[in-house]
Amino acid sequence: MTTETLAAGAVPAGESGAGRTHWWRDAVIYQVYIRSFADSDGDGVGDLPGIRSRLPYLAGLGVDALWITPFYLSPMADFGYDVADYRAVDPVFGTLDDFRDLLTDAHARGLRVIVDLVPNHTSDLHAWFVEALAAPEGSAARDRYIFRDGRGSRGELPPNDWESVFGGPAWTRTVDADGRPGQWYLHLFAPEQPDLNWELEEVRAEFLDVLRFWLDLGVDGFRIDVAHGMVKAPGLPDVGRADHVELIGNAVLPFFDQDGVHEIYRAWRVLLDSYPGERIGVAEAWAPTPERLANYVRPDELHQAFNFDFLAQPFQAGALRAAIDHSLATAGSVGAPSTWVLSNHDTKRHVTRYGGGAVGRARARAAALLMLALPGSAYVYQGEELGLPEVLDIPVEFLVDPQGIQSGDPAKGRDGCRVPLPWSGTVPPYGFGPAGSTASWLPAPASWSSLTIEAESGDPGSMLELYRSALALRRALPSLGAQTADSALMWLELPGAPEAVLAFRRGDRFVCMVNTGSEAVTLPAPGALLLASAAVPVLADSITLPADSAAWWRV
Ligand code: BGC
Ligand code: MG
């Protein structure tokens, strides 16, 4: 945190120009996957009043902002990422007034709120798509989406070879009013998520208006879903390869990361900047390289882009250091802060990615201290502060994620990182709902009773207390947080340290050390121990950093 950034208390209103706080440059942003955060009404699905009732927990954790995943009217084919009305709240999540109340209370606690915008596609039940299906070929209503004639003598083949991220062709054939097969429409995700035609001025104007709607309500920013997808290569050329398209990948494709997409963000930035209080845009963009990713955060575009390159690294010093250097250099080349992400609702939780069990937990603890010591903004996915693992054994009859179902491979499903958050008690769903409620849209494992917020609170060895301590120190130490000349990251080469050790300074007074190896390492004492992910023996002038651990020092 810089000193100008709000430490606690109300969000300052109306700052602009010289009064900018750049709060987002070093913010810790907590991702609320709304279905699974807290359920206020006992229907087994998390909701807006549930989040509101748990704001004291989030404020106490010490984060700066929340990003809430989509809560708009939706038939839930992709659990809210299929939006039927961008200006309405789905009844399962509450009402618009519930959102207003949540926003007011969050702001009163000094927490900013970022909402999720899904501009690449709508739901198939959005009024525009319903109208398009009923309208004739070549009509203005169809032109809002991407309808094309099929290939083959009778149009029986999809218009091109694009595959859906969720598996299978990215095209679905429609049926005309007379019952005969008609044109095809494009959906990069599920068939219930038709892609919009962003070449059309009307689509651009509509989304500017949707942004205004939420900005007028007072939101602090937007996480932009599939921010690299809206513009497609002219003529929709074939990919020309058979390998499957992954959302989480870095292939060069005719439907992702096209140069034309940046014009959209320039227009959005003008709108964001016209509001007081530094409203921000965060790109969920999967770009082929960190250089291409940096294009999304040029000064006249979005503020941040998720850094998935960091998430993709194994727990290995060399790989992490290379990703950190590359990210800082590329974001820095356009004057943007880096972001750091370890988990989200689309990827396997990092305790499990890092090996699971005791090793996975130890590494996740170390990774938390690494991430929170890096310059820039960090994202915490709900439950990572508890050390939740991926749930790998959800009974198949409970699996609901379209990515797992449509791909025909349950291992590709994302249900395992979306299991409701365990709050308290000893039996599932661990206080997720109101007292006495046993409803939970995905089942929580019987083994989570030691991983609840209640069980971990006050336990000095818990992941939760590690996050609380780290976040409190991050606020208190001027050298952490904002990427300024004084607090830039400087790698330290420690004499005698093996390659598995990472050490860096932030400013003059702070050092972070990480041992990614499987052997403890004895090193010269860098200063006074502030916080460690494992027990670190400190002797007069040497310290021992255990395997898979990290420590923060005051020099
Ligand atoms: C979201 C996913 C969603 C997809 C389609 C993503 O990037 O994070 O959860 O399935 O966009 O909207
Ligand atoms: Mg509910």
Measured in Å, residue 271 CA sits from the centre of ligand 2 at 34
Span 1-39, pLDDT tens digits: 333 333 333 344 433 344 567 999 999 999 999 999 999
Strands (E), 242-363: 280-283, 304-305, 339-341
Note the pLDDT of residue 13.
40
Which ligand 1 atom sits closest to the C-alpha of 118?
12
Number of Cβ within 10 Å of residue 53's Cβ equals: 15
d(CA 256, CA 243): 16
Alpha carbon nearest to ligand 1 atom 12, residue? 81
Measured in Å, residue 281 CA sits from the centre of ligand 2 at 28
d(CA 528, CA 30): 30
Closest by CA to 48, choosing from 78, 75, 69, 25, is 69
Core vs surface per residue 188-222: b (16+ CB within 10 A) or e: bbbbbbbbbbbeeeebbebbeebbeebbeebbbbb
Q: How confident is the model at residue 554 (pLDDT cuts 50, 70, 90)?
A: very high
Alpha carbon nearest to ligand 1 atom 2, residue? 346
Strand partners, 196: 145
From the CA of 43, the nearest ligand is 2
Judge whether 543 and 412 are in contact, CB under 8 Å. no
Span 130-175, pLDDT tens digits: 999 999 999 999 999 999 999 999 999 999 999 999 999 999 999 9
Q: Which helix (H) or strand (E) is 369 found in, with range?
A: helix 357-373
Cβ(284) – ligand 1 distance below 6 Å:
yes
What would the two tokens of residue 381 be? 């996915």
Letter for the amino acid at 372?
Answer: L
From the CA of 308, the nearest ligand is 1
What would the two tokens of residue 71 be? 């809560």
Letter for the amino acid at 234?
Answer: P
Cβ(430) – ligand 1 distance below 6 Å:
no
Span 353-380, pLDDT tens digits: 999 999 999 999 999 999 999 999 999 9
Mutate which of 120, 226, 282 for ligand 1? The one with the most ligand atoms within 8 Å of its CB, which is 226
Q: Mutual orientation of helices 96-108 and 201-217 as an angle, nearest 10°?
A: 60
Note the pLDDT of residue 10.
38
Q: How confident is the model at residue 540 (pLDDT cuts 50, 70, 90)?
A: confident
Span 94-132, pLDDT tens digits: 999 999 999 999 999 999 999 999 999 999 999 999 999
Mutate which of 193, 225, 308 for ligand 1? The one with the most ligand atoms within 8 Å of its CB, which is 225
Cβ(346) – ligand 1 distance below 6 Å:
yes
Give the percent of the chain with pLDDT over 70: 94
Measured in Å, residue 424 CA sits from the centre of ligand 2 at 17
Which ligand 1 atom sits closest to the C-alpha of 81?
12
Measured in Å, residue 291 CA sits from the centre of ligand 1 at 23
Measured in Å, residue 35 CA sits from the centre of ligand 2 at 8
Which ligand 1 atom sits closest to the C-alpha of 402?
10
For the chain, the residue count is 555
Task: Check residue 419 and give left, alpha or beta (phi > 0: left; psi -120 to 50: alpha).
Answer: beta
The CA-atom distances, in angstroms, between 291 and each of 116, 239, 247, 286, 417 are 25, 22, 18, 12, 29
| Residue 312: half-sphere exposure toward Cβ, Cα within 13 Å | 14
Query: Does position 504 have pLDDT exceeding 90, yes or no?
Result: yes
Query: Does position 65 have pLDDT exceeding 70, yes or no?
Result: yes
Q: State whether residue 404 is helix, strand or coil.
A: helix
Mean pLDDT across 293-309 = 96
Strand partners, 504: 491, 512
d(CA 107, CA 66): 11
What would the two tokens of residue 143 be? 């032109």
From the CA of 53, the nearest ligand is 2
Span 40-49, pLDDT tens digits: 999 999 999 9
Q: If DSSP states are collapsed to H, E and C, what string results for 202-268?
A: HHHHHHHHHHHHHHHHCCCEEEECCCCCCCCCCCCCCCCCCCCCCCCCCCCCCCCCCCCHHHHHHHH
d(CA 307, CA 285): 9
Strand partners, 72: 89
Note the pLDDT of residue 387.
98
Mean pLDDT across 319-331 = 96
Alpha carbon nearest to ligand 1 atom 9, residue? 346
Which ligand 1 atom sits closest to the C-alpha of 346?
9
Cβ(83) – ligand 1 distance below 6 Å:
no
Mean pLDDT across 516-524 = 97
Cβ(82) – ligand 1 distance below 6 Å:
no
From the CA of 35, the nearest ligand is 2
Measured in Å, residue 328 CA sits from the centre of ligand 1 at 26
Note the pLDDT of residue 486.
67
Core vs surface per residue 285-300: b (16+ CB within 10 A) or e: bbbeebebbbbbbbee
Mean pLDDT across 480-484 = 69
Query: Does position 233 have pLDDT exceeding 60, yes or no?
Result: yes
Q: Integer distance in angstroms from the first to the last C-alpha of the chain?
A: 19
What residues are annotated to the active site? Answer: 225, 284
The pTM assigned to this predicted structure is 0.95
Q: What share of the chain is helix, strand, coil (3-state, %, to 5)?
A: 30, 15, 50
- By DSSP bridging, strand 112-117 and strand 221-224 are parallel
From the CA of 190, the nearest ligand is 1
What would the two tokens of residue 64 be? 């700066």
Measured in Å, residue 90 CA sits from the centre of ligand 2 at 11
Cβ(226) – ligand 1 distance below 6 Å:
yes
Instruction: Name which of 147-161, 319-333, 472-486, 529-543 the model is least confident about.
Output: 472-486
Query: Does position 76 have pLDDT exceeding 90, yes or no?
Result: yes
Note the pLDDT of residue 5.
33
Which ligand 1 atom sits closest to the C-alpha of 120?
12
Alpha carbon nearest to ligand 1 atom 1, residue? 225
Judge whether 80 and 71 are in contact, CB under 8 Å. yes
Strand partners, 65: 29, 112
Q: Which residues contact 325 (CB under 8 A, 6 or more apart)?
A: none
Judge whether 15 and 276 are in contact, CB under 8 Å. yes
Mean pLDDT across 180-195 = 98
Alpha carbon nearest to ligand 1 atom 4, residue? 81
